[in-house]
Amino acid sequence: MILALTATVAVVVLDHTSLRAAPRSAATELTALWRGDVVEIRGERAGYLKVYDYHRERGGYLKSESVRVTELTETAAPELLAVLRFLRETPGSETLGISYGAAYLKAAPARSLTAEPFDAIARMAERLADEASGSPNRSTDAAAHLEVAAHLEVVEQFGVRMQSFERNGRMQVCYDGELFRRVLTMAAATAEERAHAVLGLTRPECIDPALGPVPRAALDDERRELLDEIKDADSTAMMRTRLHVRRAGVWASIAYSQTRRGEPSGTAAGRALAELLAADPNELGEDRRGEYQDAVLRTSAVRWAASPPAPQSGPLALSAAPGEPGQTCVGLEDPHRPHPVPLVRRCTYGIVWMASARTLPQGPALVLAVQPLESWRELWVFHESTGGWTIDVLSPGADDPEEGYVDYAGFAPGPRRLLIAREVKERGRFRRRFEELRLDDLALVRQASSPELLRDFGRWQDAAWRRDTLALH
């Protein structure tokens, strides 16, 4: 972390602070400074401070009330630390907090430094990156975008680096984690500080989507090792739940990668389920509820990896065979016909979970879970319609979805209704719903937020689904 600060500085405490050519309000504005900017003091005149901004290599005058003068001496270090502690937990003051954190690191003697200031600066940098990423539901004007960009430039002068990449049609900004890594190297770091650091370094949304399968597998192994180093017994109840939730998501990623490589993935999927079931979502509160919901979606997508294929019964048989390189081709046959040929056949680059296949003799129909992406699982419905057999694909969502899954939940024979559960993250929001679909055309008959609100779910839901699904958690 670069701390190019001189002995006496002023910290800008207001956004859009004008740096003027002379000590008067009518003087030419040379540039605008932002909250957290640091300037060197070179004099005072008529209620203005004469300053020099090394970051922009420009001098000028600032109103005295728009800055706070700070001495970067050992005697001033306790006061700077007190301000840092206050700003650390104040959303919206990240640039100011990082500035005071940098000032404290400059003022405090090396012998007295602990992990606390590094942890505080890293957590504020993480919050600032989240603010820069924004919410897909929030519309921001040009002024707001300018302010965010300016704040990122402010912290950059202190060596706080951000990474950005496109994810789901919008830019994701993430702190690069340098100070989190430094915290992990400090023997005196507390258990809570180490846990914060590991969580900051293992965020799933901060993985570059363009990362290839080999480096991604290596990154997942690194994330797993970091999380395994943290002892749950040393953490608070909320932190233990956050760690369980993060481990569940990481193990789900590992299970997906192992299946892609043709390796056994049951152990990894079982570990993901165990970690998720060990988490207590009531410990998270509303602000962090999304962490748990995200882990539910990721774990649900690969939960069939923990189930061995069951013997197929009924009038229909499903087979899977290699197709083009990387493809799996699924065929549906009637084994009672002489010289059976596939009634219908479809190929996919996704993972075909044969353990999920369920025959619906009253349909007749068959359902199958197929996972084309790491945190995205669809439901294929094989059913007979006018003109022969067809395969329809039910996806978790269609309104700008990010991740999700569809579960087969049961079948009502008269009239023929397919029962499903969908859970999806769309535009940054999680949505869970239970549906009854007409089997003939898969048209929606009715839906609800809880299965208890649907009549057919009460009588016809699948017992194995109710036992194993995560949609009821």
Q: Give the pairing of strands 344-348 and 328-333.
A: antiparallel
The tens digit of pLDDT for each residue in 432-467 reads: 999 999 998 999 999 999 999 998 998 999 999 999
Asked if pLDDT for residue 283 goes beyond 60, the answer is: yes
What six digits make up the tokens of 232? 């749950």
Handedness of CA 71, 72, 75, 81 (dihedral sign): positive
Asked if pLDDT for residue 263 goes beyond 80, the answer is: yes
Confidence of residue 241 (pLDDT cuts 50, 70, 90): very high
The tens digit of pLDDT for each residue in 368-383 reads: 999 999 999 999 999 9
**Average pLDDT in the 237-253 region?**
96
**Average pLDDT in the 267-285 region?**
94
Top pLDDT among 258 and 171 is at 258
Asked if pLDDT for residue 3 goes beyond 60, the answer is: no
Asked if pLDDT for residue 21 goes beyond 50, the answer is: yes
CB atoms within 10 A of CB 8: 14
Asked if pLDDT for residue 144 goes beyond 90, the answer is: no
State whether residue 417 is helix, strand or coil.
Answer: strand
Asked if pLDDT for residue 420 goes beyond 50, the answer is: yes
User: Tell me, what's the pLDDT at 2?
Assistant: 43
Contact 10, 70 (CB under 8 A): yes
Task: Determine the Cα–Cα distance for residues 415 and 399; give it in Å rounded to an integer.
Answer: 29
Domains of the chain by residue range:
1-161, 202-306, 312-468
Asked if pLDDT for residue 6 goes beyond 60, the answer is: no
Task: Determine the Cα–Cα distance for residues 448 and 450; give it in Å rounded to an integer.
Answer: 5
Going by C-alpha positions, the residue among 414, 394, 407 that lies closest to residue 460 is: 414
CB atoms within 10 A of CB 12: 26
Confidence of residue 23 (pLDDT cuts 50, 70, 90): very high
User: Tell me, what's the pLDDT at 415?
Assistant: 86
Angle at 266 between CA 262 and CA 272, to 5 degrees: 120
Asked if pLDDT for residue 426 goes beyond 90, the answer is: no
Task: Determine the Cα–Cα distance for residues 149 and 131; give it in Å rounded to an integer.
Answer: 11
Contact 401, 350 (CB under 8 A): no
CA distances from 127 to 17, 221, 242 (A): 23, 26, 17
Q: 51-66: b or e for each residue (b if 16 or more CB lie within 10 Å)?
A: bebeebeebbbbeeeb
Task: Determine the Cα–Cα distance for residues 21 and 15; give it in Å rounded to an integer.
Answer: 18
User: Tell me, what's the pLDDT at 363?
Assistant: 79
Domain at 1-161, CATH homologous superfamily: SH3 Domains (2.30.30.40)
The tens digit of pLDDT for each residue in 54-91 reads: 989 999 999 999 999 999 999 999 999 999 999 998 98
Confidence of residue 5 (pLDDT cuts 50, 70, 90): low
What six digits make up the tokens of 163? 């990474």
Handedness of CA 320, 322, 327, 329 (dihedral sign): negative
What six digits make up the tokens of 368? 């199958």
Task: Determine the Cα–Cα distance for residues 427 and 18; give it in Å rounded to an integer.
Answer: 37
Asked if pLDDT for residue 137 goes beyond 60, the answer is: no
Beta-strand runs (E) in 221-263: none
Confidence of residue 1 (pLDDT cuts 50, 70, 90): very low
**Average pLDDT in the 225-250 region?**
93
The tens digit of pLDDT for each residue in 28-41 reads: 999 999 999 999 99
Confidence of residue 140 (pLDDT cuts 50, 70, 90): low
